[in-house]
C-alpha cells in the first residue's frame, strides 16, 4: 500500500483554499502525487483528487493576484501531472470534468471567460469524489482509464520470497557497509582487482548514467531533424552543449540542453533542462533535470520519440491524426531525480532503505530496517548530491568496501551496520552469501524489479523486472549469477541460448542431462531447450523480445485463458489453442479450453493462435506475435499480416513490426519506404505501397 508523505497528506486533507497556502510546497506535493492505483487505497486516491481541487481553487485567485500568476500556472501544471501519471479515476474525473490546463494563456482565458464566483471547484470536486466512492467507483475506473492500453485481468501473485535457510542470531560484529562513509569508489577497487575493474569499465553498467559529453553522447547531434506529427525536432550542438529544439506551427516551441545520458549499448535516453519554452520565467521546467522527449536507437542509428521505446505508452495519434495530446505528455516535466536516478546510479544503501519505493532495497523490506526509518518520511526523490557516482559502480552491488580496503576484512555481500536490524543475517548466511540465491537475487533486485505492465500470471511484459519475476518461480534456488556474470556484458538480446543457461537447469534436474532423457521429457528434438518451454521469449527488451525470467509451466491456465503468449504457440503459430490444449494434455496437464476463451483468440478456439495474437486487443500480444513470426519459418508467408502491423495504433508495436519485417526480408527498409513516426494518413500510404511491392519481395 502506498503511503503519502506527511507534507502531502497535510495538503491533501486541508481545505481547498489558497489562503496562507505555500504554493511552492503545493507544486512539489502535486508533482509527487503520481500514485499507482493498483497500490493505493480509495482514501489515498481521494487525497490526490483533493490536490487537484486545491490547484483549481488557487487558479480562481490568479486574476486577483497577478504577481503570483507564474507560480499558479506551475501549480496547474503540476496538477496536470497528477492526471497524466494516472493517479487514479478520481483524479481523472476531476481533471476531465473541469478541464485542467497547464498553459498560462489558457488558464487566463478560462478565468476571463467565466467569473470566479461561478466556479466553486473544491465543492464540486468533493461532490464528485463522494459520489464516485459511494456509488460507482469500479465502473468509472474502467471508463476513465481509457487513456490506458487495454490489458489483461492480472493474477496478483504472492511473490514474497522465503527467508534464507540459516541458523543462529544476527551477526553483530560492528561491520558497516551501508553508510555514506563506508564507500570508497571504483578506483580503489581497481587498485587490487584490476581485471574485474577493466571488465566492469567495458560493461554497460558503468555507462548507465553519465554527464553529457563527446565521450558519452551517442546520438546524432549534427543538425539532423525528425518530423513527428505537429512538431519538428532538431538535434544539434551549440558550442560544447547538446541541444534538442522543437518547432511547432513554424515557431520554436521548446528547447532543451542535454545534461546527462542514460544507457549506451542499445538505446540512449537523455536528461536535460528546458532553456526556452511557453512556461513563464521562474517555472521549474527551467531548473529541473527531466527526461527529454526523444531518444536515440544506437543499434538503428535513428532518433524517435521516447514513447516509441516503451510498450506502456498509449496510442500517439488521435482519430483526427493529431498527436497534440502525446506532445503535451512528452514535454511534461518527468523528473530525473524521481525516476531514472534510482536504478542507474550508485548511492549508499542506507538511502535505499529511506526511499518510498519498495523495489530499491532489493532485500524484502520486511527483512531489514534501520531505527531511523520509523520516524523519517519515506522519500520519493533522490538528490543528485547524494550520489556516490554516476552509473553503476562496484559498490552498488558489493556494498561499501571501506572495511575491506582499510582493514583487509573479507567483503560482505549482506547489508551490515551496527544499527541495522536484519535477523536473517546470521554468521552462516554472511559466510555463504555468495552461494545464496536469497542474497544474490536480492542484490540484483535493487534495480531489476521495475514496475511495468503485467501478464495474466503477474509477470512483466517489459524488461528490467527479471529479479521480481524470478522470485516465486518454480526454481527459486537458481541465482542470477548462475547464468550471468555481472562483470561481463550479456550477449545481445534475442540471441541463441548460452549453454551455461541450460546448465543452470541441469544442476538440479540431473536426470535430464542425457539427450535421450531430454527428448522423452520435452517430446522435441535438440533444437528446443528447457528455456523455450519454461522461459519463453515474451518480454519486450530494448531492441528485441527476450525471455521471461519466470520459470514456469507452458500450461499455465492464467495465460492460456486470456490469450497471453504461451510457449507452445510461440513456435506453433499456425496451430489453434484447442490443438495446444490437446497436446498439453498428453503431458498430463489439466487444460480444458472454455467457450469464453474464444474472445481472446479472434472469436474461435480453432483459429491459428499466431493470427489471433497479431489482432489481439492487448498491444503487447501483437508485439510479441510480430517477433515470433520473424523467428519462424512461417514468417515469409505472414509478411502481409506483419505489414499491417506497421499501421498499429501503438507506436512501439510499429517499431517492432518494422524489426520483424526487416528480419524476414533480410534487409533494412529505407526511410522513404517506411518511418514509424509518420502521421496516420502518410503512414498508411507507405504501408499500402509496401503491400503492393510484396509479390516482388517474396519471390
11-38 residues labelled b (16+ CB within 10 A) or e (exposed): bbeeebebeebebeebbbbbbbbbbebe
Residue linked to cell 532495497: 361
Q: Does one domain contain both 122 and 62?
A: yes
Q: Please check whether residue 646 lies inside any domain of the structure.
A: no
Task: Report how far residue 564's alpha carbon sits from residue 600's, in angstroms, rounded to the nearest whole number.
Answer: 8
User: What is the SS3 assignment for 608?
Assistant: strand
Q: What is the residue range of 495's domain?
A: 448-469+487-549
Q: Does one domain contain both 223 and 265?
A: yes
Give Cβ neighbours of residue 188 (< 8 Å, ≥ 6 apart): 401, 405
- The answer to whether the beta carbons of residues 289 and 337 sit under 8 Å apart is yes
Give the pLDDT score at 567.
Answer: 98
Q: Look at residues 280, 305, 338 and tell me which one is the last residue of a structural domain.
A: 338
Q: For 459, what's the count of Cα atoms within 13 Å in the CB-facing half-sphere?
A: 27
Report the 3 state secondary structure along 25-47.
HHHHHHHHCCCCHHHCCHHHHHH
Handedness of CA 99, 104, 106, 108 (dihedral sign): positive
Q: Does one domain contain both 233 and 136?
A: no
Give the pLDDT score at 115.
Answer: 33
Give the pLDDT score at 105.
Answer: 35
Q: Does one domain contain both 60 and 104?
A: yes
Q: Does one domain contain both 441 and 455?
A: no
Q: Does one domain contain both 22 and 128?
A: yes
| Residues across the chain | 699
User: What is the SS3 assignment for 368?
Assistant: coil
DSSP string, 255-304: EEEEEEEE--SSEEEEEEEEEE-SSPTT-GGGT--EE-SEEEETTTTEEE
- The answer to whether the beta carbons of residues 258 and 212 sit under 8 Å apart is yes
Q: Does one domain contain both 125 and 54?
A: yes
558-578 residues labelled b (16+ CB within 10 A) or e (exposed): bbbbbbbbbbbbbbbbbbbbb
Give the pLDDT score at 489.
Answer: 87
Task: Report how far residue 655's alpha carbon sits from residue 678's, in angstroms, rounded to the nearest whole number.
Answer: 12
- The segments of the chain whose pLDDT lies below 50 read 1-9, 11-21, 35-40, 62-63, 83-146, 375
Q: Please check whether residue 672 lies inside any domain of the structure.
A: no
Q: Does one domain contain both 391 and 323?
A: no
List the grid coordinates of 689. Answer: 505501397
DSSP string, 84-103: HTT--HHHHHHHHHHT----
Q: Does one domain contain both 18 and 132?
A: yes
Residue linked to cell 490444449: 581
CA-to-CA separations, 554 to 590, 611, 624, 627, in angstroms, rounded: 12, 19, 16, 19
Task: Report how far residue 655's alpha carbon sits from residue 676's, in angstroms, rounded to the nearest whole number.
Answer: 6
Total number of domains constituting the chain: 4
Amino acid at each position: 500500500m502506498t503511503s503519502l508523505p506527511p507534507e502531502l497528506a497535510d495538503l491533501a486533507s486541508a481545505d481547498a483554499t489558497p489562503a496562507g497556502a505555500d504554493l511552492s510546497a503545493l507544486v512539489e506535493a502535486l508533482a509527487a502525487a503520481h500514485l499507482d492505483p493498483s497500490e493505493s487505497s480509495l482514501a489515498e486516491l481521494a487525497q490526490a483528487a483533493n490536490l487537484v481541487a486545491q490547484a483549481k481553487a488557487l487558479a480562481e485567485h490568479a486574476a486577483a493576484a497577478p504577481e503570483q500568476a507564474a507560480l499558479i500556472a506551475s501549480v496547474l501544471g503540476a496538477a496536470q501531472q497528477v492526471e497524466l501519471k494516472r493517479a487514479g479515476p478520481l483524479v481523472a474525473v476531476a481533471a476531465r470534468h473541469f478541464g485542467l490546463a497547464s498553459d498560462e494563456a489558457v488558464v487566463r482565458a478560462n478565468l476571463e471567460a467565466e467569473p470566479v464566483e461561478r466556479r466553486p471547484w473544491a465543492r464540486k470536486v468533493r461532490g464528485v469524489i463522494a459520489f464516485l466512492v459511494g456509488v460507482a467507483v469500479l465502473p468509472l475506473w474502467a471508463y476513465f482509464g481509457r487513456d490506458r492500453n487495454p490489458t489483461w485481468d492480472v493474477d496478483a501473485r504472492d511473490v514474497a520470497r522465503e527467508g534464507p535457510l540459516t541458523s543462529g542470531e544476527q551477526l553483530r560484529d560492528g561491520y558497516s557497509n551501508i553508510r555514506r562513509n563506508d564507500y570508497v569508489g571504483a578506483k580503489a577497487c581497481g587498485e587490487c582487482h584490476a581485471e574485474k575493474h577493466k571488465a566492469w569499465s567495458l560493461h554497460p553498467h558503468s555507462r548507465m548514467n553519465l554527464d553529457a559529453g563527446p565521450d558519452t553522447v551517442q546520438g546524432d547531434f549534427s543538425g539532423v531533424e525528425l518530423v513527428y506529427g505537429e512538431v519538428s525536432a532538431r538535434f544539434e550542438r551549440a558550442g560544447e552543449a547538446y541541444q534538442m529544439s522543437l518547432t511547432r506551427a513554424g515557431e520554436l516551441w521548446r528547447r532543451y540542453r542535454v545534461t546527462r545520458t542514460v544507457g549506451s549499448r542499445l538505446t540512449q535516453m537523455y536528461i536535460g533542462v528546458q532553456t526556452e519554452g511557453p512556461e513563464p520565467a521562474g517555472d521549474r521546467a527551467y531548473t529541473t533535470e527531466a527526461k527529454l522527449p526523444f531518444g536515440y536507437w544506437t543499434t538503428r542509428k535513428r532518433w524517435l520519440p521516447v514513447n516509441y521505446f516503451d510498450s506502456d505508452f498509449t496510442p500517439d495519434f488521435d482519430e483526427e491524426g493529431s498527436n497534440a495530446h502525446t506532445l503535451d505528455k512528452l514535454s511534461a516535466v518527468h523528473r530525473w531525480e524521481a525516476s531514472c536516478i534510482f536504478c542507474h546510479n550508485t548511492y549508499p544503501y542506507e538511502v535505499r532503505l529511506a526511499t518510498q519505493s519498495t523495489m530499491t532495497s532489493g532485500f524484502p523490506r520486511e527483512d531489514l530496517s534501520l531505527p531511523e526509518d520509523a520516524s523519517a518520511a519515506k522519500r520519493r526523490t533522490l538528490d543528485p548530491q547524494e550520489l556516490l557516482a554516476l552509473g553503476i559502480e562496484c559498490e552498488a552491488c558489493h556494498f561499501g568496501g571501506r572495511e575491506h580496503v582499510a582493514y583487509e576484512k573479507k567483503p560482505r555481500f549482506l547489508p551490515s551496520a551496527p544499527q541495522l536490524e536484519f535477523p536473517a543475517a546470521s554468521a552462516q548466511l554472511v559466510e555463504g552469501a555468495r552461494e545464496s540465491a536469497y542474497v544474490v537475487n536480492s542484490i540484483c533486485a535493487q534495480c531489476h524489479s521495475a514496475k511495468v505492465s503485467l501478464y495474466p500470471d503477474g509477470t512483466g511484459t517489459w524488461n528490467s523486472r527479471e529479479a521480481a519475476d524470478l522470485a516465486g518461480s518454480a526454481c527459486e534456488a537458481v541465482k542470477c549469477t548462475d547464468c550471468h556474470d555481472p562483470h561481463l556484458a550479456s550477449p545481445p538480446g534475442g540471441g541463441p541460448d548460452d549453454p551455461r543457461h541450460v546448465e543452470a537447469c541441469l544442476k538440479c534436474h540431473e536426470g535430464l542431462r542425457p539427450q535421450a532423457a531430454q527428448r522423452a521429457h520435452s517430446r522435441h528434438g535438440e533444437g528446443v531447450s528447457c528455456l523455450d518451454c519454461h522461459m519463453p521469449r515474451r518480454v519486450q527488451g530494448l531492441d528485441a523480445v527476450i525471455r521471461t525470467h519466470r520459470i514456469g509451466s507452458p500450461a499455465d491456465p492464467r495465460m492460456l485463458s486470456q490469450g497471453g503468449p504461451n510457449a507452445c504457440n510461440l513456435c506453433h503459430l499456425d496451430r489453434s489453442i484447442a490443438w495446444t490444449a490437446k497436446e498439453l494434455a498428453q503431458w498430463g496437464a489439466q487444460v480444458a479450453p472454455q467457450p469464453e476463451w474464444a474472445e481472446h483468440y479472434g472469436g474461435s478456439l480453432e483459429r491459428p493462435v499466431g493470427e489471433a495474437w497479431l489482432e489481439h486487443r492487448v498491444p503487447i500480444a501483437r508485439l510479441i506475435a510480430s517477433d515470433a513470426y520473424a523467428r519462424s519459418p512461417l514468417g515469409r508467408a505472414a509478411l502481409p499480416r506483419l505489414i499491417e502491423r506497421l499501421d498499429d495504433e501503438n507506436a512501439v508495436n510499429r517499431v517492432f513490426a518494422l524489426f520483424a519485417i526487416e528480419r524476414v526480408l533480410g534487409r533494412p527498409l529505407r526511410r522513404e519506404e517506411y518511418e514509424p513516426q509518420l502521421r496516420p494518413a502518410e503512414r498508411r500510404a507507405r504501408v499500402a505501397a509496401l503491400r503492393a511491392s510484396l509479390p516482388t519481395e517474396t519471390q
